Amino acid sequence: MTTDSALVDILRRTRTLLIDFDGPICAVFAGYPATVVADELRRLIAAHGGSIPADTDGDEGPISILRRIGQTGPATLVRAVADALRDAEVKAVETAEPTSGADDLLRFAQAVGRRVAVVSNNSEEAVRRYLQQHGLSGYVEHISARYDGMDARHLKPSDHLIRRALDALGSTPAEAALVGDSTVDVAASRAAAVVAVIGYANKPGKRDSLAAAGVQAIIETTAEMAAALRVS
């Protein structure tokens, strides 16, 4: 396997890995489709007499729905949607599809002295449940994910969750690299002054969008990350 020099350079000058959950670690909604969850949230909002602001990002996923209702919805409705999404995510991780090689990456990162945090817009309970079920909890030092009562405006692309992770690990933005599969991850990293961003292009079209967003390196498999860590 040819190792990308930019990727190796990032890993040589950083000691903390901030890794997104849905994508780099697993496909959360593989068995309980995101479209089904999104429809359930829309019905919940309608039952409460609410409405969702117009979508301007082309993203109709459940996280986007929570983010948008959080902009205008009354607090009681936002909390109801957040709680329903948390419960759906906890259910979804029961049938989530592990990303090939992600478990090995987490184990190897710890073995070579990297500090690892999961930074996710998914619920903390769902992330914790998945890691426990797959025997990976011991390889992740901190989970900075959506927590009960969190202001939906603090979801990525806000830098809130990244800064919480850095604070928990006693790390600085210059010491950290983030691995994410969306332009939202890139924007959150920039807002937190984490300039070392590794794009995970796991689907068609993502390589171009991540490159346009200004990531410093792009991987298509987690095995590429593990190979780079071996020589970094």
Quickly list DSSP for 164-224. HHHHHHT--GGGEEEEESSHHHHHHHHHTT--EEEEE--STTHHHHHHHHT-SEEESSHHH
pLDDT value at residue 54: 66
> Do 81 and 147 fall within a single domain?
no
Residues 151 and 55 grouped into a single domain: no
Domain check: are 125 and 170 in the same one? yes
The mean per-residue pLDDT over the stretch 73-90 comes to 96
What pLDDT is stored for residue 27 in this prediction?
98
Structure tokens given for 1: 């396997």
For the segment 95-128, what is each residue's pLDDT rounded down to a tens digit?
999 999 999 999 999 999 999 999 999 999 999 9
Of 124, 119, 93, 103, nearest to 30 by C-alpha is: 93
pTM to 2 decimal places: 0.94
- Of the residues 95, 127, 142, which one is the last residue of a structural domain? 95
Question: Do 172 and 215 reside in the same domain of the chain?
Answer: yes
* Per-residue pLDDT, 1: 42
How far apart, in whole angstroms, are the C-alpha atoms of residue 229 and residue 220? 15
Give me the domain span that covers residue 179: 5-27+98-231
Average pLDDT for residues 9-22, to the nearest whole number? Answer: 97
Here the tokens at position 126 are 């769902």
Return the pLDDT at 55. 67
pLDDT at 51: 87
Residues 127 and 142 in one domain: yes
Residue range 19-60, pLDDT digits in tens: 999 999 999 999 999 999 999 999 999 999 998 876 656 568
CATH number for the domain that contains residue 150:
3.40.50.1000
Which of 95, 115, 144 represents a domain boundary (last residue)?
A: 95
Residue 56: per-residue pLDDT: 56
Same domain, 102 and 55: no
Rounded Cα–Cα distance for residues 75 and 92 (Å): 25
Q: Let me know whether 115 and 11 are in one domain.
A: yes
Total domains, the chain: 2
pLDDT tens-digit series, residues 152-211: 999 999 999 999 999 999 999 999 999 999 999 999 999 999 999 999 999 889 999 999
Q: Is 71 exposed, middle or buried (0-12, 13-18, 19+ CB in 10 A)?
A: exposed
In a shared domain, residues 63 and 162: no
Give the pLDDT score at 3: 61
Do 212 and 125 lie in one domain? The reply is: yes
